[in-house]
Structure 1
Amino acid sequence: MMYTALVSNLIFPLQERFKQHRSVSVRRQMEQSQYWPEARLRELQLERLRNLLQRVQAKVPYYRDLFRELGFEPLRDLQSLDDLRRLPLTDKATIRQAGERMKAEDAVGLARFNTGGSSGEPLIFFIGKERVSHDVAAKWRATRWWGVDIGDPEIVVWGSPIELGAQDRMRAWRDRVMRTRLLPAFEMSGPKLDGFVDAIRARRPRMLFGYPSALSHIARHARGKGQRMDDLGVKVAFVTSERLYDEQRQQIEQTFGCPVANGYGGRDAGFIAHQCPEGGMHITAEDIIVETIGADGQPVARGTPGEIVVTHLATGDFPFIRYRTGDVGVLGTEPCRCGRGLPLLKEIQGRSTDFLVAQDGTVMHGLALIYILRDLPQVKAFKIVQESLQHTTVQVVLEGALDDALRGKIVAGFRARLGAGVDVTVEQVAQIAPEKSGKFRYVISKVAA
């Protein structure tokens, strides 16, 4: 505990000061504002939104021209958060087309990033020091909700080329000081999983961090080998970047003997929401305005599923304003029992490409097919790809061989939901390959929902 306090209170703050990040002061402010009532948080959002829109009008060529075309003046026309809807939605294509015109003319020290591109062409974008400071602070605050802190021993199971390409001497030294070890999530073969289990047992981490698919794979492998993992003192497993399924949560919790804390966000959209010990997925309201919209682009009521759209209030150097995430979620209607005033994401249903379309036009979540496969004891892993309304492919990893009876069950179950005329191809494979980012995607639909 003494070493953790040294890292959290001295070493990490010194690092952030050296990088010209305001993460420490921002986190302290957030730990106060998290208990504000939602009305006061909305006042803060409106103030910060006015500042953001004034800055992008003055310094960002794309928005300067857009506001001129719309006749939009932030001070005059932004009287409430609802007025944000006067601005058009943006998406990856908008940002790609704008190119350099999306950068603030006075921005310095921007870092280049890109999304993983698992659902299409990657997005290249830029992040300034203000954005980094706020994202780090938001994640740090959420970490501390669970009684752990920077400097506690940590295992990170991740597949981002950015992290995995940064293992130079300085990064290795930093990880040793911070007591963090990174395990690459790209390959989940038997020997690799043996090594991961050994590394976790040797480290005895206080916290785990990674993709839910990766941590559940490790947990399942350890239990299959009869290797106990709940005696290591792991206090919490943080998961993010993929949909967290109930069986994954159960697998991780039972194997490691700790709760699972779900997080939601992305490199592009920012640190959007994180789960507290009472179970609420709290939106980082000090930094991010979340809207949910229907297929017509209009807002839907709280409690109703819609596409998640974010405005990140710390992106004056490279704006993300009314940015379509492609994810479908539900805003909460009730406060959390923890007492925080931060609004809630009641549910994150997954990416729009995680939804399938039946031949009759019915839109359904991928879980409709996932449960068919999960109910078959022979199926160890799978991937579903809806190629078109007429054709769906299923890859399965099996205990034993794929026989006609099993193939028939899968095909019949899929046709019962997608349509009797759908061609269902079932392929047995040795293992399911992850995406380039290291993530696993159980369902991909190439049909517009």
Structure 2
Amino acid sequence: MISIFDISLKLNGFPIKKAKAELNEIVNLSQEEYAVFLENKKEEIVDFHLQNNSFYANLVGNKTDLKWEDLPILNKQNLQKPLEERLSKGYSRKNIYVNKTSGSSGTPFVFAKDKYCHALTWTSIFMRFGWYKIDFNHSYQARFYGIPMDFIGYKKERFKDFLTHRFRFPVFDLSDEILEQFLQKFKTKKFDYINGYTSSIVLFAKYLEQKNILLNEICPTLKACFVTSEMLFQSDKKLLEKQFGIPIINEYGASELDLIAFENPNGEWQINAETLFVEILDENNKVLPYGEEGQIVITSLFNKAHPFIRYEIGDIGILDEKSTPQKPILKKLIGRTNDIAILPSGKKSPGLTFYYVTKSIVEDDGNVKEFIIKQTQLDRFEIEYVSDKALDNGQIQKIEKAISLYLESNLNFSFTRKTVLERSKSGKLKQFKSYL
């Protein structure tokens, strides 16, 4: 079979062969060589942007004798100005890769990568999927993603799917009738792997559980399932493993950067230290030691078209104590900084806390399929949920009791049963949202 994926990247001007060679070199560096490589790359990318990027040079200002920790923290607000004003000398829309972020953090913006940097992104994805014997040129993907709904955008995406050897299951409508159609496709197509948004893949697994069907029995070619873009809870991972009968791999990435962390075959969430440099900072932007929770700040070591240097992605996480510079391990991803609930007592809680609390109770009988939580006032929360039958008083009291135990008492909740939950334009489900 011809390598359509590689060929399409080459035709679009991405030097994939050169990128594969360089990535291979980086992966095979000794610990000492890697330390030198990392320091050189950090220095090189900062010097490049100070000399060739007026947007970045203005941000840094005219400080002399700059140390790494003195460099400004870039955030999404800094980047919300026309792309042309942020590009480095020698780069224009003609010779770069341009895209926009999904805006799941509430702040979408347009970004750019130079073609070599983007080729490295793909090479790093190839390598990690290769850990599970998945080859983008030949393996057939079942893709659980959104899709543009306008005619041209839709056709373009379908054609891209055809070229890149994947079949797309759009995630905007996940009613039982649609999930049944998905199931029929798995009976007739020889998929090698599943890739897509966590919430929609979990919903499909719940449907299989209801019907008492194991996916790898009706589609024995399946080797692995990769979930992305939304939190994967331990209980959901167990459900997926049980209903699919294949390894479930957790990935964490950002379109403007690269794959950030990817579960390796030892079950560790390994950070991509080949093309990125990841730091965890406290609220004063001081670097925290391994094991402590803080803001995730990322530097793209190769992107010359556009600076992503000490870029605050908007997530909170912890690096494992056993991390090394060459092999950092993400111990925990706690969620987005803008998904924090502020309670009447002044206590701050990640929105995920509610999710864990309610999830543990509604999971019992599999009645509730999905839910989202909205904070409308300091002490008021709305829970919208999709279920076979409405929650009864007993279940609601149980949830309220658990919430006062985990969070605080005297919070008011309203529960609304829906037939379908609102997803973002890209098809992601935002599990907690504060309207304060």
- Normalising by structure 1, report the TM-score: 0.87
1:96 aligns with 2:83: no
Q: Distance in 2 between matches of 1:98 and 1:291?
A: 27
Q: Distance in 1 between matches of 2:265 and 2:386?
A: 35
Matched with 1:80 is none
Offset at 1:121?
3.5
Q: Distance in 1 between matches of 2:287 and 2:149?
A: 35
1:134 aligns with 2:103: no
Distance verdict in 2 for CA 1:141–1:163, change over 3 Å? farther
SS in 2 for 1:326: strand
Matched with 2:107 is 121
Kindly provide the amino acid, as one letter, of the partner of residue 192 in structure 2: R
Q: Given that residues 164 and 184 in structure 1 are in contact (C-alpha distance below 8 angstroms), is that contact kept between their aligned partners in structure 2?
A: no
Q: Given that residues 31 and 141 in structure 1 are in contact (C-alpha distance below 8 angstroms), is that contact kept between their aligned partners in structure 2?
A: no
Distance verdict in 2 for CA 1:403–1:279, change over 3 Å? closer
Q: Distance in 1 between matches of 2:123 and 2:357?
A: 41
Q: Deviations over 1:184-219 (max 9, x none)?
A: 122211222112122223222111110111111111
SS in 2 for 1:95: coil
Q: Deviations over 1:55-84 (max 9, x none)?
A: 2122211123334x2324xxx64xxxxx32
Aligned residue runs from structure 1 range 122-201, under 5 A: 122-150=108-136, 151-159=138-146, 161=148, 166-168=153-155, 172=158, 175-201=161-187
Distance verdict in 2 for CA 1:88–1:162, change over 3 Å? farther
Q: Find 1:36's aligned residue among 16, 29, 48.
A: 29
Identical-pair percentage: 23
Offset at 1:25?
3.0
Q: Distance in 1 between matches of 2:264 and 2:24?
A: 13
1:289 aligns with 2:274: no
Q: Distance in 2 between matches of 1:371 and 1:121?
A: 26
Distance verdict in 2 for CA 1:12–1:403, change over 3 Å? closer
Kindly provide the amino acid, as one letter, of the partner of residue 442 in structure 1: Q
Distance verdict in 2 for CA 1:187–1:227, change over 3 Å? same
Q: Find 2:47's aligned residue among 31, 50, 54.
A: 54
1:209 aligns with 2:205: no
Kindly provide the amino acid, as one letter, of the partner of residue 149 in structure 1: D
Q: Given that residues 391 and 424 in structure 1 are in contact (C-alpha distance below 8 angstroms), is that contact kept between their aligned partners in structure 2?
A: yes
- Which range moves more in the overlay, 112-121 or 131-140? 112-121
Distance verdict in 2 for CA 1:446–1:40, change over 3 Å? farther
Q: Distance in 2 between matches of 1:176 and 1:96?
A: 34
Kindly provide the amino acid, as one letter, of the partner of residue 190 in structure 2: R
Q: Distance in 2 between matches of 1:405 and 1:13?
A: 57
Q: Given that residues 90 and 323 in structure 1 are in contact (C-alpha distance below 8 angstroms), is that contact kept between their aligned partners in structure 2?
A: yes
Q: Given that residues 27 and 141 in structure 1 are in contact (C-alpha distance below 8 angstroms), is that contact kept between their aligned partners in structure 2?
A: no
Offset at 1:35?
4.4
Aligned residue runs from structure 1 range 314-325, under 5 A: 314-325=302-313
Q: Distance in 1 between matches of 2:385 and 2:321?
A: 39
Q: Distance in 1 between matches of 2:73 and 2:164?
A: 40
Aligned length: 427
Q: Distance in 1 between matches of 2:160 and 2:147?
A: 18
SS in 2 for 1:24: helix
Aligned residue runs from structure 1 range 249-260, under 5 A: 249-260=237-248
Q: Distance in 1 between matches of 2:31 and 2:182?
A: 42
Matched with 1:363 is 348
Listed as ranges, the gaps of 5+ residues in structure 1 are 78-82
Distance verdict in 2 for CA 1:16–1:251, change over 3 Å? same
Q: Deviations over 1:119-150 (max 9, x none)?
A: 32322222331231121111111010111111
Distance verdict in 2 for CA 1:379–1:443, change over 3 Å? same
SS in 1 for 2:317: strand
Q: Find 2:293's aligned residue among 301, 305, 308.
A: 305
Kindly provide the amino acid, as one letter, of the partner of residue 36 in structure 1: L
Q: Given that residues 300 and 309 in structure 2 are in contact (C-alpha distance below 8 angstroms), is that contact kept between their aligned partners in structure 1?
A: yes
- Which range moves more in the overlay, 156-165 or 319-328? 156-165
Offset at 1:327?
0.7
Offset at 1:315?
1.7
Distance verdict in 2 for CA 1:118–1:70, change over 3 Å? same
Q: Distance in 2 between matches of 1:138 and 1:164?
A: 32
Kindly provide the amino acid, as one letter, of the partner of residue 71 in structure 2: L
Q: Distance in 2 between matches of 1:157 and 1:54?
A: 41
Q: Given that residues 103 and 109 in structure 2 are in contact (C-alpha distance below 8 angstroms), is that contact kept between their aligned partners in structure 1?
A: yes
Q: Given that residues 38 and 342 in structure 1 are in contact (C-alpha distance below 8 angstroms), is that contact kept between their aligned partners in structure 2?
A: no
Q: Distance in 1 between matches of 2:151 and 2:43?
A: 38
Aligned residue runs from structure 1 range 254-403, under 5 A: 254-334=242-322, 341-374=326-359, 375-376=361-362, 377=365, 378-403=367-392
Matched with 2:96 is 110
- Normalising by structure 2, report the TM-score: 0.89
Q: Given that residues 335 and 352 in structure 2 are in contact (C-alpha distance below 8 angstroms), is that contact kept between their aligned partners in structure 1?
A: no
- Which range moves more in the overlay, 208-217 or 227-236? 227-236
Q: Distance in 1 between matches of 2:268 and 2:5?
A: 28
Distance verdict in 2 for CA 1:239–1:140, change over 3 Å? same
Q: Find 2:70's aligned residue among 64, 80, 86.
A: 86
Q: Given that residues 206 and 369 in structure 2 are in contact (C-alpha distance below 8 angstroms), is that contact kept between their aligned partners in structure 1?
A: no
